[in-house]
Amino acid sequence: MPEGRKLSQKRGNNRKFKKPEADCINDSYWFGRDRNCEYCFDEPLLKSTDKYRTYSKRHFRIFREMGPKNSYIAYIEDHSGNGTFVNRELVGKGRRLPLSNNSEIALSVWSNK
């Protein structure tokens, strides 16, 4: 059974729509421009934006660790030079924050979800 689910959001035609969901069953996932990341930011439309250049090759990692009572805690760890935000809070390069249900992640600026 999956421990989490990733919901991507993208803006288009002045409305927000969701890309297909992905069940998260591994202990760790990398996000960034590097093709070796599990979630690579390589969509042609995204590559043509100014924001794309602010994304790091390995921008952030989401992982889980065993917590109290044999339950997992999900974390986000920032590896970018331009920042990763969770619910408008800067994580900070080399730092990590726990994720909660429906946390919003933004790259480079807090409004870039």
pLDDT in tens, 11-63: 443 333 334 455 668 899 999 999 999 999 888 888 888 888 899 999 999 99
For residue 61, what are the β-bridge partners? 30, 77
- Where exactly are the structural domains of the chain? 28-107
pLDDT at 23: 67
- In terms of pLDDT, which residue wins out, 94 or 20? 94
CATH of domain 28-107: 2.60.200.20
In percent, the amount of the chain with pLDDT more than 70 equals 78
Note the pTM of the prediction, 2 decimals. 0.75
pLDDT-based confidence at 103, cuts 50/70/90?
Answer: very high
Phi-psi region of 45 (alpha: psi -120 to 50; beta: other; left: phi over 0): alpha
